Structure 1
């Protein structure tokens, strides 16, 4: 990637992740209505896994740093391979530092992530966007993601939220074919 270096986060990145959390609480405030508890946020980022019922094969906890500020985390990403079905990459977190939003960094970072996931055999990507997040919806729509259904979720704080499940085929795939492959994303499914 031209503008950043990306690698797998480890426990030794804990202090830098804590600083990222402290400097960028907006997403957590939006999701839960509360300031994130830094130590818990870091631990959850480093260790959380999708439920086994989704039959995934590998998760990646990634951090990105820009060349201009190599000591500061610029973004955190949490992605899962083969989520629900083989070849389905799931992006559960793509959080760019507030100071970099609107700079074009997110687009460059996303394109590198998409290319990397495609090189690992993922041929369709999926994610959720919270209702009331017009910037997020606009960003993912610009990246080529399409809505497939709406879901209600509950944050650890107990706050419920509506989200839009979106997908992006990396090779030709109709919406109906996608929903057959990933039945959970069909609005007719529970």
Structure 2
């Protein structure tokens, strides 16, 4: 049976920074929770280019999540981080105005499908900033804490990030 989703992933190009910026304009609650500001000035550019130290840009996959022709969210995955066979979800975000309609689950399912089928990943990994109340969502998606906790430094907030992973 073919994979079906109510949304599609469209790889971001340099022409899409305005769309990315518009999504961040609608993520003020998230930004306040993790950064302490309504929006980082460089949010769109950072989303498209940021990656862990030692990772090449070719390993970063940044997407617009589109449903019925409208951009409803953002996703980025880092292939092979922190180890081969692992895809790291850097950000999976649904516009505040589109939350509560099941798009987060659909975007996660699209991310898992891309990681498994296109990147050939066997493990998905992510970090949840403790000030962002989404641990329950990720647990419902089957992720479990690894036991690793790392410091997180937002624009104006300092917190911790809980690392979680799931076998695909």
Size of the aligned set, in residue pairs, is 163
Structure possessing the higher radius of gyration over alpha carbons: 1
Per-residue Cα deviation, 1:28-72 (whole angstroms, up to 9, x for no partner): 11111112145x1111112222211x68961101111111xx1x3
Q: For the residues of structure 1 that align with 2:86 and 2:5, how far apart are their CA atoms?
A: 26
| Residue number in structure 2 paired with 1:94 | 92
* Runs of 5+ unmatched residues, structure 1: 171-190
Give every structure 1 segment of 4 or more consecutive aligned residues whose post-TM-superposition deviation is greater than 4 Å: 54-57
Instruction: Give 2:26's match in structure 1, choosing from 18, 23, 26.
Output: 23
Question: CA RMSD, aligned part only?
Answer: 1.8
| Residue number in structure 1 paired with 2:61 | 60
Q: Secondary structure at the match of 1:93?
A: strand
Q: Which has the higher contact order (CA 8 A, sep 6+)?
A: 2
Q: Is the 8 A contact 1:57 1:80 kept in 2?
A: no
Deviation (angstroms), 1:165 = 0.5
TM-score by length of 2: 0.88
**Superposition pairs for residues 135-154 of structure 1, below 5 Å?**
136-148=134-146, 149-154=148-153
Deviation (angstroms), 1:24 = 2.0
Deviates more, 1:123-132 or 1:15-24: 15-24
Asked if 1:47 corresponds to 2:45, the answer is no
Q: Secondary structure at the match of 2:37?
A: coil
* Runs of 5+ unmatched residues, structure 2: none
Q: Is the 8 A contact 1:56 1:82 kept in 2?
A: no
